[in-house]
Amino acid sequence: MKPNAPTTAVLLHFEDEQQSATRIAQAAHLNLCQIERHRFPDGELKLRLPSALPPQVILLRTLDKPNEKLLELLLAAQTARELDARHLTLVAPYMAYMRQDIAFHPGEAVSQRVVGRFLASLFDAVITVDPHLHRVARLQEAVPVAQAIVLSGAPLLSDLIAARRQRPLLIGPDVESAQWVALAAMRHGFDHAVCQKVRHGDHSVQVELPDVAITGRQVVLLDDVASTGQTVTQATRLLLAAGAASVDVAVTHALFADDALQLLLDVGVSEIWSTDCITHSSNATSMASAIAAALTELLRQ
């Protein structure tokens, strides 16, 4: 270690995640330092880390719009190693490239496997929230690091729903959402069910409502992620047509590509709530305390 290197773990972050980093650092009692980022006219990036680092370093980078951020992780992690960091933890509240976990056609890249191994080559530990795992049961199978920690936004969303709605009915927009819907429902004893979905493309889905009483109910569509909004839009139309008193949307990761947010509001969604895993106007609850607790436990080991 360099003579003037700090001894307490430090949380590194980029300028666009200052608020999230501050909340986590304060909750975990960590030193906080921003990575300087410069873009050259030709598009190349230059990063500058602190000149001295402690043995334990945490890097915060949520991986929405992931392609350039993955390069940032490569540059930052390898530089941190050169600056004597011995244990590197990635905190990626949203983990990208998890959906493509199998080659459906010859020659397709299995991006989950490729990106997972890439991250494992850089970091000793990973903390993420509600990764979109389908045919893979554990995060460590996708990102083979020594310590792979998965948190969930479902309990926080459940608390939020309990505070704002009376006797809500939680519905998942598809079978894949069942795990998060069940977790949120169990926390407060909510009624819950899931829709059936057939996807015909990125912007074309067909939804079938579950066989439950909907008339007069305050329905909350809950899922790990909202991207194009197509599935939730169709489910909302069907729920309102079936007599739902209201339909709200609660998601861990507010991706909301293009005009997805406006699409939901136009179709009749009353409220849209998300965690702060991805900074968005719909953020209504924060994962900072849960992430800080996981970091504190990890740093004790």
Confidence of residue 6 (pLDDT cuts 50, 70, 90): low
Residue 128 and residue 66 share a domain:
yes
Residue 144 and residue 51 share a domain:
yes
Structure confidence at residue 214 (pLDDT):
96
Is residue 142 one of the residues assigned to a domain? yes
How far apart (Å, rounded) are the C-alpha atoms in residues 293 and 299? Answer: 10
pLDDT above 70: residue 138 = yes
Q: Give the other-Cβ count within 10 Å of 40's Cβ.
A: 8
Confidence of residue 1 (pLDDT cuts 50, 70, 90): very low
Is residue 1 one of the residues assigned to a domain? no
Confidence of residue 128 (pLDDT cuts 50, 70, 90): very high
Helix (H, G, I), strand (E, B) or coil at 259: coil
How far apart (Å, rounded) are the C-alpha atoms in residues 122 and 80? Answer: 10
Residue 76 and residue 39 share a domain:
yes
Residue 34 and residue 46 share a domain:
yes
How far apart (Å, rounded) are the C-alpha atoms in residues 268 and 242? Answer: 13
Structure confidence at residue 5 (pLDDT):
52
Is residue 281 one of the residues assigned to a domain? no
The total number of structural domains in the chain stands at 2
What CATH number should be reported for the domain holding residue 293? 3.40.50.2020
Structure confidence at residue 190 (pLDDT):
97
How far apart (Å, rounded) are the C-alpha atoms in residues 230 and 102? Answer: 23
Residue 177 and residue 114 share a domain:
no
pLDDT above 60: residue 267 = yes
Residue 290 and residue 265 share a domain:
no
pLDDT above 50: residue 113 = yes
Bridge partners (DSSP) of residue 250 are 222, 273
How far apart (Å, rounded) are the C-alpha atoms in residues 128 and 122? Answer: 16
Residue 293 and residue 144 share a domain:
yes
Residue 124 and residue 70 share a domain:
yes
**Across 277-293, average pLDDT:** 97
pLDDT above 80: residue 72 = yes
Q: What is the pTM of this model?
A: 0.93
Is residue 95 one of the residues assigned to a domain? yes
Q: Give the other-Cβ count within 10 Å of 244's Cβ.
A: 20
Is residue 16 one of the residues assigned to a domain? yes
Torsion of CA 177, 181, 184, 188, to 10 degrees: 180
CB 180 within 8 A of CB 152: yes
Residue type, 153: G
CB 151 within 8 A of CB 290: yes
Is residue 19 one of the residues assigned to a domain? yes
Please report how many Cα atoms fall inside a 13 Å half-sphere around the Cα of residue 40, on the Cβ side: 5
Is residue 33 one of the residues assigned to a domain? yes
Residue 139 and residue 216 share a domain:
no
CB 55 within 8 A of CB 8: no
Is residue 147 one of the residues assigned to a domain? yes
Residue 146 and residue 159 share a domain:
no
Residue 40 and residue 70 share a domain:
yes
Residue 239 and residue 118 share a domain:
no
The predicted-structure confidence for 12-43, as pLDDT tens digits, reads as follows: 999 999 999 999 999 999 999 999 999 999 99
Which residue range forms the structural domain that includes residue 167? 154-276
